[in-house]
Amino acid sequence: MQYLQWLSIFCEAVVVILGVLLAAQKKKSYGWCIALCFAIYVYYDAVKLAGLSVSQDFLYVIFFIATISILWAVGQIYRETK
């Protein structure tokens, strides 16, 4: 089942790229937040998959940043669609 983890990391990386393109080409600032959130997901999943030792406190902080980032992005998308 490890291939599912690799597939998940690949999909997350694609979302990072699309978020950057959304911000840079489409001029949607929430694209940066989406890219940041999923870049953190890529890092987190890669660390777990590789079995690296990373401070749990650090992981809590970056996961919180990812949550705030996607919350802001979804709020911006919601406001845009009114």
According to the model, what pLDDT value does residue 1 have? 78
Cβ burial, residue 63 (10 Å; 0-12/13-18/19+): middle
Q: Is 62 helix (H, G, I), strand (E, B) or coil?
A: helix
* pTM (2 d.p.): 0.92
Give me the pLDDT at residue 81, please: 86
| Residues lower than pLDDT 70 in the chain | none
Residue 61 has a pLDDT of: 97
For residue 38, what pLDDT is reported? 98
